[in-house]
Amino acid sequence: MTTYRLEIRVTPRPGILDPQGKAIHHALHSLGWSDVDDVRVGKAIHLELEADSEEAARAEATAMCEKLLANPVTENFEIDRVETGTTEAG
């Protein structure tokens, strides 16, 4: 079994209102960054997972997103591997 470190990014779908992104956009403009546009805020979830292969780890993470981490109506998700370590027990 290998320990996989994954990053899951959950972001609002295009067209869905994002009040947190709007607030940050506004704050950046107030601070003088007038060339910033289209600010969207999502979640970046890091977790460690034991699995036999990277495909298995990604499949588990996809199931977690579908069941708990993302709202399929309003949010998209992406899964990336960050780094791999091996555990002592096989």
* Least separation in angstroms between CB 26 and a copy of itself: 11
Nearer to a copy of itself, 73 or 87 (CB): 87
**Is residue 79 a contact point for a copy of itself (CB under 8 A)?**
no
Residue 7, H or E segment: strand 2-12
Helix (H, G, I), strand (E, B) or coil at 52: coil
Distance CA(7)–CA(25), nearest Å, equals 25
**Is residue 46 a contact point for a copy of itself (CB under 8 A)?**
yes
Residue 68, H or E segment: none
**Is residue 56 a contact point for a copy of itself (CB under 8 A)?**
no
Nearer to a copy of itself, 34 or 73 (CB): 34
Residue in this structure with the two tokens 């997972």, named with its chain if needed:
49
